[in-house]
Amino acid sequence: MNKKKLPKYPLIWQKDDFYIKIYCSIPNIATGIIITTDKAKFIVDPGDGILRDLNKDYKKDEILEVSDIFISHGHHDHLGGLWSLLTYLCVMKRTKPLNIYYPAGSPEIESIYNAFKSVYEHEMEYNINLKSISDSKTFTKKGIKIKPFKVNHREPNDDGESVPVPSLGFKFFYNGKSICYGGDTAYSENLVKMAKDSDLAIIEAGALTEEEAELHMTIDQASEIGETADEYFLVHVPDGI
Ligand SMILES: [Zn+2]
């Protein structure tokens, strides 16, 4: 394993006005990503610290422009900052609706939304549109085409058995360029297809050993997929490599 391949955050990629900044993606801690164009501001995986990170780069009015949030799956290191972000938008008097896309069947996301609504609904001036995704239909928001795709992530249940977690990757197309974000996944044919020929692929390499490759990918697996894209970042790499 080449140490140089370890991610050093933030990771930034830009082609004209198509811009992505990965503030971090650290297993069991947090992931936080922003994608922008001249007309769009999306958050992908609002992990813990996302509001603090946005606040370093953007003024209040710019944070209020975030229109769409994409959540790959319900694990806390991918959505731990959602509550504070939603609250900030409420306190700062956001009025425009906010869309949240997430894999159908994620109990964490729906629970956060329901709890948030029950606490803040009386003072909220904006609507949250929860959009659960159960297929791979492409849609367009703010001039960016988005293709969600299922990936292959798991977690242990109460009996210690490994069970699938509803999990998505997202591919973003804009101005002839594409960014493929795989979320958390073990080796996934869908990801292999979607990452291929992307201008940027963001691939998790969360498995330290072959034995962990049921939940995450090893550096070798992730690199092999990344190599099929024009450029790639390996993310979600655990400490200890
Ligand atoms: Zn996960």
Q: What would the DSSP string read from start to end of the chain?
A: --GGGS--SSEEEEETTEEEEEEEEETTTEEEEEEE-SS-EEEE---TTHHHHHHHH--HHHHTT--EEE-S---HHHHTTHHHHHHHHHHTT--S-EEEEEETT-HHHHHHHHHHHHHHTTT--S-EEEEEE-S---EEETTEEEEEEE--EEEE-TTS-EEEE--EEEEEEETTEEEEE--S-SS-HHHHHHHTT-SEEEEE---SSGGGGGTS--HHHHHHHHTTSSEEEEE-PPTT-
Give distance in angstroms: CA of 16 to centre of ligand 1.
31
pLDDT of residue 45: 98
Give distance in angstroms: CA of 73 to centre of ligand 1.
7
Give distance in angstroms: CA of 122 to centre of ligand 1.
33
pTM (whole model) above 0.85: yes
Give distance in angstroms: CA of 153 to centre of ligand 1.
7
* pLDDT band, very low/low/confident/very high, at 4 (cuts 50, 70, 90): very low
Question: Tens digit of pLDDT for each residue in 130-147?
Answer: 999 999 999 999 999 999
Give distance in angstroms: CA of 41 to centre of ligand 1.
24
Give distance in angstroms: CA of 190 to centre of ligand 1.
17
Give distance in angstroms: CA of 58 to centre of ligand 1.
28
Question: Tens digit of pLDDT for each residue in 41-97?
Answer: 999 999 999 999 999 999 999 999 999 999 999 999 999 999 999 999 999 999 999
Give distance in angstroms: CA of 185 to centre of ligand 1.
8
Give distance in angstroms: CA of 64 to centre of ligand 1.
28
Give distance in angstroms: CA of 86 to centre of ligand 1.
21
Give distance in angstroms: CA of 208 to centre of ligand 1.
15
Give distance in angstroms: CA of 94 to centre of ligand 1.
30
Give distance in angstroms: CA of 15 to centre of ligand 1.
29
Give distance in angstroms: CA of 186 to centre of ligand 1.
10
Question: Is 3.60.15.10 the CATH number for 3-235?
Answer: yes
Give distance in angstroms: CA of 96 to centre of ligand 1.
30
Give distance in angstroms: CA of 133 to centre of ligand 1.
17
pLDDT of residue 241: 55
Question: Tens digit of pLDDT for each residue in 170-215?
Answer: 999 999 999 999 999 999 999 999 999 999 999 999 998 887 778 8
The ranges assigned to domains in the chain are 3-235
